[in-house]
A and B are shown apart, each in its own frame.
Chain A
Amino acid sequence: MTDVTLTEHPALVRLRAQFGDAVLETHAHRGDHTAVVAPERYHDVMRFLHDDPECDYDFLTDLTAWDRLRMELAPRFEVVVHLYSTSRNDRLRIKTRPTDDEAPAVDSIVDIYRAANWPEREVWDMFGIRFHGHPNLKRILMYEEFVGHPLRKDYPVNKRQPLVEERPIPDDRPSTLFYT
């Protein structure tokens, strides 16, 4: 178990030694360790964390993203990956920020973590972030006819895209309830 009182997590030290300026930020709070890495080196970082025997992050807990629109943060999108090492009982969070706000894209890590397949499809579906090298990058939750990406902050909250034509519902329709 990693000593949570350490100011610097050993994996973060190794990451910075290996990748230098590509590690943009690190953050630690009560044993919760995060590194923000440059999108160009994101795939290399994940490969290193998976293969390096002292890191040995062999388990992908989660892969998701969030939209930072109107938060005065740039770039707009951030992909968040949670890793776990079963051999060392240790967790690490890696973030990367695709630079292009109009057509955000990062490398897929399906070749490193096969569990990333469906989460990357979900991130594409919900946020419209492409993953280069993904074997089957298509919508996973919404239907193919759906236009847009619903978890983007600029997707209208009341927008509906029904697949079947909806019946007109008059506001003054009589109640179907009756009592005998």
Chain B
Amino acid sequence: MIQELREIDEIIDEYQGQKNALIQILLKIQEKKHWLPKPALLWVSERLNIPMAQILQIATFYKAFSLEPHGEHIIRVCLGTACHVRDGPKILEAAEQHLGIKSGETTPDLKFTLESVNCLGCCALGPVMMVDTNYHGKLRPSEVPEILEQYRTDTSALTNEQQKRKPTAQHQPASPVISR
């Protein structure tokens, strides 16, 4: 617990405790924890001297934030216009069926969180599904289960792939969380 708050202190200090950095601070916490735990928010409220109500207003308004725990892998199915006309909704359906959860939910084993997003900006590759920081483009619904199973079983291989994608030390880790 104290360790966790220390991590949050580090994030707040990075922004020199500026009040207007609240959204950026919450984004960083969300990135680290995959959600916004209550003790963390209370601590932010205390440190920045911002009322909890205002913090919750922001945490519920923006889609990047979640007040519930998220799964280990976050699946985002793009439902932007380009993906929509190329059968994006069927990709979402396939993922929903395979995981047995609806969009916005997390599997009971906390392995996957499924979300739909309104555009990943990969329109030429539609339909697109993003798992963590990996994009899977030009998908067919029948390919979805196989891709998801890879993440369930072979996490080490994927970590390698991700490392390859981010080869130098100067690269910041990609922000992992989008919307609910």
Specify whether A and B are partners: no
B-binding residues in A (CB < 8 A): none
A-binding residues in B (CB < 8 A): none
